[in-house]
Structure 1
Amino acid sequence: MKDLELIHQAKEAMKHAYVPYSQFRVGAAVLTKDGKVYTGCNIECASFGGTNCAERTALFKAISEGNRSFEAIAVVSDNEGYTFPCGICRQVIVEFGKDTRIIVSTKEGKIETFTAAELLPHSFSSIDLEK
Structure 2
Amino acid sequence: MSEQDKELIAAATDAISSRYRNDWQEVGAAMRTRDGRIVTGVNIDAYIGRIAVCAEAIAIGRAITETGDHGIETIVAVRHPKPDEPGDIAVVSPCGICRELIYDYDARARVIVPGNGAPMVTTVAELLPNKYRRGSE
Q: Report the TM-score range of the alignment, normalised by the length of the smaller protein.
A: 0.7 to 0.9
Gaps of 5+ in 2: 82-86
Q: For the Cα contact (< 8 Å) 1:76–1:105, is it kept in 2?
A: no
Computed over aligned residues only, the root mean square deviation of the Cα atoms, in angstroms, reads 2.3
Shift of the 58–17 alpha-carbon distance from structure 1 to 2, 3 Å rule, reads: farther
Match of residue 93, structure 2, among 84, 91, 102: 84
* SS class of match (1:85): coil
Identity between Structure 1 and Structure 2 (%): 36
Alignment map for 1:1-131 (pairs within 5 Å): 2-15=4-17, 16-20=19-23, 25-65=26-66, 66-78=68-80, 82-105=91-114, 110-125=118-133, 128-130=134-136
Measure the CA separation in 1 of the matches of 2:36 and 2:73: 9
Could you say what secondary structure the match of 1:2 adopts? helix
SS in 2 for 1:129: coil
2:31 partner letter:
V
- Say whether the 8 Å CA contact 1:77–1:83 is kept in structure 2: yes
| Structure 1, unaligned runs of 5 or more | none
Q: Offset at 1:64?
A: 2.2
User: Which amino acid is 1:47 matched to?
Assistant: I
What is the alpha-carbon distance in structure 2 between the residues aligned to residue 60 and residue 77 of structure 1?
A: 19
Asked whether the 8 Å contact 2:31–2:38 carries over to 1, the reply is: yes
Give the structure-1-normalised TM-score: 0.83
Query: CA, structure 1 residues 96+60, in 2 after alignment: closer, same or farther (shift >3 Å)?
Result: same
Closer, same or farther in 2 for the Cα pair 1:42/1:19, shift >3 Å? farther
**Partner of 2:84 in structure 1?**
none
